[in-house]
Amino acid sequence: MSSHAKAAEGEAPQFYELVPHHHAPHGSTQIGFWIYLMSDCLIFASLFAIYGVLGGNFAAGPSPAHLFNLQLVAVSTGALLLSSITYGFAMLDMDEGKKTGTLVWLVITGLLGAVFLGLTLYEFYHMIHEGAVPQRSAFLSAFFVLVGTHALHVTFGILWLVTLLVQIGMKGLIPANRIRVQCLSMFWHFLDVIWIGVFTVVYLMGMLR
């Protein structure tokens, strides 16, 4: 706007800023991480599209009603939901500057994430044991890619969480660590949002087919 004002006074129009202005450290980290999450969302959208197209092609193999155990899915969904609120409590403790509280809630979050991951791996093991391998049918390929990608995200989320525990333990709640905790918070809640889509489309709608 100032350039317009100057141009009106007869000076040469200025189309870019010559004077460097101050950016707060990590000032753009959160919006950048949000853009990453949105692009990750598009990966999941394409995997959901694949599952939507191929999810009914059983190739005379097992169907969701044969394979899925809804009680197990309900327990793992509960673990992930609980981990979302325990992460929220970690954020609240961090805002109040409580280092021990933050660490304890983060550890509980990580354990709940590990329970979820363990149940997913148990399900995969059980399915593969029964011969329901990805090569068996288009439905199973799409299933393993979609649920496997989500499980991989949770795995990296837990790795990140453990790294953060060490960093907070060593350096405390410094600004850099606060930003990291906030980014992992977005990542963790985002994975929960994706899981809502997975249990609705894959498990619940699969049982109705």
Partner 1 sequence: MSASTSTDTLSPSQKAHAHPNPEVHGDGHDHGTRRTYLIGFALSVVLTAIPFWLVMNNVIADTMIATLVIMAFGVVQIFVHMVYFLHMNTKSEGGWTMMAAIFTIIVIVIALSGSLWVMFHLNTNMMPGHIMNPADLI
Which residues would be at the binding site for partner 1 (CB under 8 A)?
1-2, 4-5, 8, 21-24, 26-27, 30-31, 34-35, 38, 41-42, 45-46, 48-50, 52-53, 70, 74, 77-78, 81, 84-85, 88-89, 91-92, 95, 175, 182, 186, 189-190, 192-193, 196-197, 199-201, 204-205, 207-209
- SS3 per residue for the chain: CHHHHHHHCCCCCCCCCCCCCCCCCCCCHHHHHHHHHHHHHHHHHHHHHHHHHHCCCCCCCCCHHHHCCHHHHHHHHHHHHHHHHHHHHHHHHHHCCCHHHHHHHHHHHHHHHHHHHHHHHHHHHHHHHCCCCCCCCHHHHHHHHHHHHHHHHHHHHHHHHHHHHHHHHHHCCCHHHHHHHHHHHHHHHHHHHHHHHHHHHHHHHHHHC
Q: Choose between 65 and 125: whose C-beta lies nearer to partner 1.
A: 65
Minimum distance from residue 66 beta carbon to partner 1 (Å): 15
Minimum distance from residue 109 beta carbon to partner 1 (Å): 12
Q: Choose between 128 and 201: whose C-beta lies nearer to partner 1.
A: 201
Q: Choose between 84 and 155: whose C-beta lies nearer to partner 1.
A: 84
Minimum distance from residue 131 beta carbon to partner 1 (Å): 25
Q: Choose between 89 and 160: whose C-beta lies nearer to partner 1.
A: 89
Minimum distance from residue 147 beta carbon to partner 1 (Å): 16
Q: Choose between 49 and 152: whose C-beta lies nearer to partner 1.
A: 49
